[in-house]
Amino acid sequence: MSDARESDARAIELRKVSRWFNGGTVKAVDDVSFMVHPGECFGLIGPNGAGKTTSFSMMCGYLRPTHGQVRVMGEDPGRPGALKRRLGALPQDAVLPFGAKVGWLLTYWARLSGLPQPEREARESLEKMDLAQAWGMEPQELSHGMGKRVAMAQAMMGAPPVLLLDEPTSGLDPKIAAHVRGVIRDAKGRQTVVVSSHNLQELEELCDRVAILDRGKLQQVGTVSELTSRSAEFRVQIARGTVPLEAVKALKGCAGASLPQPAMLVVQYDAKVSPDEEMITATLQLLIGHGVFVLGVTRGRRLEDRVLELGEAPVVAAAVVSAS
């Protein structure tokens, strides 16, 4: 594949990127590589200090990498004017400037982005965030949630091909967070979206692929189902009764079963030997036959569990990236 075609297939690419602070004593991002395909929704996950915001900031051109290469739409984000009209960014902790009304600010930014109908674009974007009433308000009059949505509206203006959203729902109440997730879901497919979040359930719901970062290193990157081993594991929540663990292990295709908690049965299996539906049905039949009452079944590990395992997992950055 030629270079041009390769870059067409990569909306964003980080190649061996490191960002150090304090003369190299703090390695916020260390030798991280991954790529984001056009039109996909990509998640950045990790605990505090994992390097998510630093990676995000390098993609937006706010920070320069100490080593390595960042490319967004084939461009170096640090090059002046490189991503004008091509990138919408929701920075995590940027304060909305005071001294102007929200509508005026959005129109100003839309004009600066070179959008043909700045005021209309600003109004539509604010309406899309269900915040038309904020048009005449000053930023200091906005609640945290409203400010977040105004910031989100500025990122969405003009429907840029790449959207980078750092913690888009943090601090929002559940109803508004759901609305914001709906907006992101709408953008999927038409725009390349990168979402950084602590809310793993949200990322599971929104993202096609995710990268797990920890202490500046890339731990894993892949589809959500790959990371959660959805096709090879399920959990059964037990209401009451004694689980016949040995009988479960003896089921065809079962690779292992355990009770990490008294009310939680975890079953690993080989999906090639026993397809998902057969394995789950056989296990439930067995449990019910032994007088066990079941409350629910969850396929795969939750992403949260995968992230919680980080402390024990070895760093597999290079291997996983080559696979992606």
Binding site for another protein (CB under 8 A): 57, 60-64, 80-81, 83-84, 87-89, 91, 93-97, 99-100, 108-109, 111-114, 151, 154
- Torsion angle of the four alpha carbons 71, 10, 178, 222, in this order, in degrees rounded to the nearest 10: -110
CB of residue 271 to another protein, shortest distance in Å: 44
Closest to another protein by CB, 81 vs 262, is: 81
Q: Which is nearer to another protein, 111 or 249 (CB)?
A: 111
- Cα angle value 40/42/45 (rounded, 5°): 170
Nearer to another protein by Cβ, of 2 and 98: the residue is 98
Report in angstroms how near the CB of residue 25 gets to another protein at its nearest.
16
| Residue 153 or 227 having the CB closest to another protein | 153
**Cα(122)–Cα(111) distance, rounded to whole angstroms?**
9
Burial 55-80 (b: 16+ CB within 10 A, else e): bbbbbbbebebbebebbbbebebeee
Amino acid 199 reads N
Q: Are 156 and 163 in contact (CB under 8 A)?
A: yes
Least distance (Å) from another protein to the CB of residue 212? 25
Tell me if 47 sits within 8 A of 197, measured CB to CB.
no
Yes or no: say if 46 and 213 are a contact pair by the CB < 8 Å rule.
yes
Q: 210 and 44 in contact (C-beta within 8 Å)?
A: yes
Closest distance of CB 97 from another protein, Å: 4
- Shortest distance, position 5 Cβ to another protein, whole Å: 27
Q: Is-contact 237 267, C-beta < 8 A?
A: no
Beta strand 264-269 pairing with 254-261 = antiparallel
Q: Which is nearer to another protein, 121 or 204 (CB)?
A: 121
The smaller minimum CB distance to another protein, of residues 21 and 293, is found at 21
Task: State in angstroms the smallest separation of the CB of 107 from another protein.
Answer: 10
Closer Cβ to another protein, 88 or 161, answer by number = 88
**Least distance between another protein and beta carbon 81 (Å):** 5
- Evaluated on CA atoms 58, 62, 63, 64, the torsion sign reads positive
Cα angle, residue 65 at apex, residues 13 and 33 outer, rounded to 5°: 35
